[in-house]
Amino acid sequence: MNYKSTRNPNITITSAQAIAQGLSHEGGLFVPETLPEITKSDILAFCDKSYAERAFDIFKLFLTDFTDEEIRHCVENAYSDNFDTENIAEISHLLQGTYILELWHGPTCAFKDMALQILPYLLTVSAKKTIPDKETAILVATSGDTGKAALEGFKNVKGTTISVFYPEDGVSDMQKRQMQTQEGENVFVCAVKGNFDDCQNGVKAIFTDEKIAAELEKAGIVLSSANSINWGRLSPQIVYYISAYAELVKNKEIEYGEKINIVVPTGNFGNILAAYYAKEMGLPVNRLICASNANNILTDFINTGVYDRNRAFYTTVSPSMDILISSNLERLLYHLSDENTELINQWFTALKETGRYEVTPEVKAKITDLFYAGCCNDTETKAAIKDCFESYSYLMDTHTAVAYKVYNDYKKNTGDGTKTLIASTANPYKFGAAVFDALGGNAEGLDEFDIIEKLEEMTHTVIPEPLAATRNKEIRFKGVIDRDKMPETVKDFLMK
């Protein structure tokens, strides 16, 4: 299994090279040459296996230049007692046929742990194969959850450093506190004056800057990424959709072959793209439902075929979705355009230069067949949190609530009664103030942890220990920079 760039048909590399490099030098994203098949016998066999064992079998299909021992080392270290549940991902029931896939039982209480607990192992193995004797510098742009999950995954990992940039006013108080108090000798965190797209564009610009690459190369440093532009970050997300289906079969909630809908709260498109890959590999999936907040660029794109970021940017109560440039959409369009790199370059050059592109009618038809898209604003998001808690005694965060609201709209609009899996991307206490407000709490005059205590009393739930522990941790990273200072800031950290 080799990997190709979405923008250059002449590039073919191994999985280890793709993971170690992160992003193709011309700006393209790496994708597998072909997608392996998941069969009925595979799914039925998964029913009797642990999450780590399922991950091992799936990674063997994608990482053919890794030995079995290397893959086993990665999965067994990633999916163990660092999660607060033996199942790694839990499935909760709202009502008959509607399930919540809880992807937030890892050390940072967000779905990013599902990938970022294994990426450091994948990356260190890949680096030994491809760039021995060099230090790997991880660069991350985050809208909240990726940053902390990456920091936690890579802290004190030998041969690596990690630099994380987040929008100064674009993350929750808890997300910011998690990053600012991060421990580890090889970590760096900095706020950027701007939004997530500014952070993401800054990181991409550093990756494609030949002058910076030459300076770092001279110092024995190679750049890589922990964002979902890195195949090593994206591929672990495929695992949990396949695993969840096997779990539903195992628990007799569905029979093998019965199709399910998958609903994903979506910003950068990586999480729902992983569900698309699982479907293309043979997982029985009916519709992929893309849920957006007020930054509804993906809703408009899926419904019209026009991607236009020339619009207002909103800071919402679901900040991890406050994104106007969805990087992983490029991978989807590469596949749906029959791997037409010329079209991909045309569209994404237009996006960079004009902020807009329109796909062909053929690609638009394929998108419409695969996806349903909807969105909701903050008021509707908070109403969804309240409705779900009052109806099912289930407390959800502000991102899962977007998915819940859009799914209810989908059912009402289509009458589709297909059993449905809703991806829950974060523990509600990561967004405690917004959740407390949604349930009618009055936060006036209260600090973050006062609000959390009242939320615990109100809902009879408990804040996870990793979040509670931040209360007494030292604030280590207080820096705020202009976005054009990102390259200089990275070099200062790496070359010190």
Q: Could you read off the pLDDT of 145-156 as tens digits, one per residue?
A: 889 999 999 999
pLDDT more than 90, % of the chain: 90
Confidence of residue 269 (pLDDT cuts 50, 70, 90): very high
The per-residue pLDDT for range 410-434, each reduced to its tens digit, is 999 999 999 999 999 999 999 999 9
Confidence of residue 443 (pLDDT cuts 50, 70, 90): confident
Q: Is the pLDDT of residue 260 over 80?
A: yes
The per-residue pLDDT for range 382-396, each reduced to its tens digit, is 999 999 999 999 999
Q: Is the pLDDT of residue 400 over 90?
A: yes
The per-residue pLDDT for range 362-383, each reduced to its tens digit, is 999 999 999 999 999 999 999 9
Q: Is the pLDDT of residue 204 over 90?
A: no
The per-residue pLDDT for range 308-358, each reduced to its tens digit, is 999 999 999 999 999 999 999 999 999 999 999 999 999 999 999 999 999
- pTM, to two decimals: 0.93
Q: What is the structure's pLDDT at 421? A: 98
Higher pLDDT, 50 or 217: 50
Q: Is the pLDDT of residue 496 over 80?
A: no
The token duo for 340 is 């037409």
Q: What is the structure's pLDDT at 174? A: 92
Q: Is the pLDDT of residue 481 over 80?
A: yes
